[in-house]
Structure 1
Amino acid sequence: MAPALCAICKTERANIKRPKNHARVCKGCFLTLFEEEVHHTIVSSNLFYPGERVAIGASGGKDSTVLASVLKTLNERYNYGLELVLLSIDEGIKGYRDDSLETVKRNAVQYDMPLKIVGYDELYGWTMDQVVETIGKKGNCTYCGVFRRQALDRGAKMLDIKHVVTGHNADDVAETILMNLLRGDMGRLARSTNIVTGDDSSDVKRSKPLKYAYEKEIVMYAYHKKLDYFSTECIYSPEAFRGTARALIKQLERIRPSAILDILRSGEDMARLVPGESASSCGCKGKSKPPAATAAEDDGGIGGCGSNGAASGNEMAAMEKQLRENEAAEELEVDVSKLSLAGRAAESETDGAVPLKTNKNSKPVTRQTLGNCKRCGYMSSQEVCQACMLLEGLNKNRAQIQI
């Protein structure tokens, strides 16, 4: 049997099966498609402006390493005019972060980018090893997450940079959506779907250029580009609640490859229902596609940002037809054609601004208003930011131990 040819170029042997849509492509087309999809996300969402200084949150892992590599490539290919800087956070985890920082230092040389390293001990007077020694492994990821987010912003301010990009991928966003859905926290769910958090008036804004990129495809891109990255997981992460959400999503992905992007899109739709919150996503809203994707659409290639690989838009119609033809499923069918046209028109006019239905015992979703922490000056929706509250508890524990 002759080897299958790439669905894109039709000439090279297809040696890669894309996890997001199972399209069979060659190595060269895969790398180009991946880069073009990230470019599409950047351009359609207006993430950057010419001459902007941008800090890349670099951990040495696959996501941030691929992000740095792709941004360097696209910056040169499309003349974004960006000044890119690597910003790393040293949490103080021996045997993990100290090794990964060596990878970041090599990346700084390989990509010819300046590197700034900011440590927890420098900012907070604590390392994560000391935090875990004090509180144990349960809940330690909460401390690290809060400290890390603030450390990235503080590091950016040290560099006089107002825009930080992070390597959060589609799997990460889907996990966060699922976690907040399980917690019933619609406010955070709405904010977690945003591709950009903050704006030009904020001290530091953040964006996620890899928001629609599958984790498996990021690994494949790093492998085929022969990138230098650190692959060891954090020694404290197995205790995190996120691990449970990740395991569930991986099970769903095995059954339905598009499940990750389906969850992501569902999260964006739910975010639009939250009063006072405005969800941001890919600016194309499914109307446009990367050039390489358009050429490949008929051959099982990719659609636009967040596409699950079937860009025709006829999936639901085909599914309904199949159900109607299946006599055994007749009782389960819903005739959507009988829905009120007036109701549809009203829904269209409100543009998704439907009030969120809640039960009598549910808490109202309040809009987050940012100010500044009265202790450290960091932006916060409370008088005292969460990092300062956590530090207060840690310092009390330290004082009691010393006594």
Structure 2
Amino acid sequence: MTVTCSSCDKNAILKRPKTGDALCKECFYFAFEEEVHHTIINANLFVKGETVAIGASGGKDSTVLAYVLKVLNERYKYGIKLILLSIDEGITGYRDDSLETVKRNEQQYEMPLKIVSYEELYGWTMDAIVKQIGLKNNCTFCGVFRRQALDRGAMMLNVDRIVTGHNADDIAETVIMNILRGDKARLRRCTAITTGTEGALPRSKPFKYTYEKEIVMYAYFKKLDYFSTECIYSPNAYRGFARTYIKDLEKIRPRSIIDIIHSGESLSFKKEVKMPTQGTCTRCHYISSNDICKACVLLEGLNRGLPRLGIGKTHKERRKVNK
């Protein structure tokens, strides 16, 4: 039986995972783009004249983000300049291939591209780090280094803001992870659409309320050029367990993703609960809530042949460094 698009008279070819609406391709594109625009406008993400760096990995999220921001910037005259910023972690057979996708995006979307590498910034590649630390804690190194590398690359480019492709699923996963870890500081800020406003470079998430499944559908129907292979070092990542849990919830109740985000937004803490204050690292001078940032502690461990330095909160080698 033919199903009619709920927004026009054409035949519907898809059902939106987020709302359950039956839509034709064109109506889906418009609904998807308008929801992202609505998020941008409601959160006042951009100021006319800003230069914005898009954290580009070559994956579906950042590729769709770059494409949609280009469309919306032209449609609604945001007046911003968009630049692609990629981090090369040094993972042979994964990041080198995905960066080729980003280089094609550079030409397809007519955006400048800057690539910054771990080797350039830290003197280490993830391949070399994994040889030392193994596969158990490698994601800790990569996550810490990547966050700082994005800031460093953005500062090299002298941009006003970074945007990343973190979607609703990612944020819901992070809420669950921080609850399980009892991480009050991260739980408080993980649902914020913009972070880093307290003196650091602002970092925003235009896809905060956008479902991963819809990003995949948009990329598929638009025939966008993106890299779809998962990182070869992340099969045992802690986030993977939270992701499986979220996917199971979504099957039962699609609104679960948004509900978890709203729950995170509604959390409040007693005034007497002490939260870490943002400062700068005494070594590298990048943002940190400790005198020495996690990136510097991890890097010192690697350089001293103590790769577990900085893994966990009370490791004896880290206590030595902080004395």
Unaligned runs of 5+ in 1: 276-354, 356-363
In structure 1, how many angstroms separate the alpha carbons of the residues matched to 2:235 and 2:259? Answer: 26
Aligned length, in residue pairs? 307
Q: Given the alignment, which residue of 29, 32, 48 partners 2:30?
A: 32
Per-residue Cα deviation, 1:80-121 (whole angstroms, up to 9, x for no partner): 000000000000000000000000000000000000000000
Residue 304 of structure 2 aligns to a residue whose secondary structure is helix
Letter in 2 for 1:80: Y
Q: Which residue of 2 aligns with 1:394?
A: 302
Equivalent in 247, 250, 253 of residue 250 of structure 1:
247
Identity of aligned residues (%): 66
Matched to 1:371, the amino acid is G
Q: Secondary structure at the match of 1:237?
A: coil
What secondary structure, in the 3-state scheme, does the structure 1 residue paired with 2:242 have? helix
Question: Which residue is 1:369 aligned to?
Answer: 277
Q: Where do 5+ consecutive residues of structure 2 fail to align?
A: 308-323
Residue 5 of structure 1 is matched in structure 2 by 4
CA contact (8 A) 1:177 1:267 kept: yes
Q: Deviations over 1:343-375 (max 9, x none)?
A: xxxxxxxxxxxx6xxxxxxxx742232111111
What residue number does 1:238 align with? 235
Find the partner of 2:166 among 144, 165, 168.
168
**Cα deviation 1:261-319 (Å, max 9, x = unaligned):** 1111111111xx124xxxxxxxxxxxxxxxxxxxxxxxxxxxxxxxxxxxxxxxxxxxx
TM-score relative to the length of structure 2: 0.93
CA contact (8 A) 1:7 1:23 kept: yes
Task: Give me the whole-angstrom Cα distance separating, in 1, the residues matched to 2:33 and 2:62.
Answer: 15
| Distance apart, 1:186 and its partner CA | 2.2
Tell me whether 1:219 sits opposite 2:216 in the alignment.
Answer: yes
Query: How many angstroms apart in 1 are the aligned matches of 2:180 and 2:21?
Result: 32
CA distance in 2, matches of 1:234, 1:392: 25
**1:398 Cα offset (Å):** 7.2
- Larger gyration radius, structure 1 or structure 2: 1
Supply the distance in 2 between the matched residues of 1:203 and 1:253 (Cα, whole angstroms): 35
Answer yes or no: is the 8 Å Cα contact 1:187–1:365 preserved in 2: no
| Counterpart in the other structure of 1:208 | 205
Q: Is the 8 A contact 1:103 1:230 kept in 2?
A: yes
Q: Distance in 1 between matches of 2:6 and 2:184?
A: 41
The 4+ residue runs of structure 1 with deviation greater than 3 A are none
Distance 1:369 1:385 in 2: 13
Check the 8 A contact 1:162/1:203 in 2, yes or no: no
How big is each residue's C-alpha offset from its partner over 1:14-39, in whole Å with a ceiling of 9 and x where there is no partner?
Answer: 11111112111111100000000000
Aligned-partner SS, 1:155: helix
SS state at 1:113 partner: coil
One-letter amino acid of the structure 1 residue matched with residue 7 of structure 2: I
Match of 1:138 among 111, 136, 139: 136
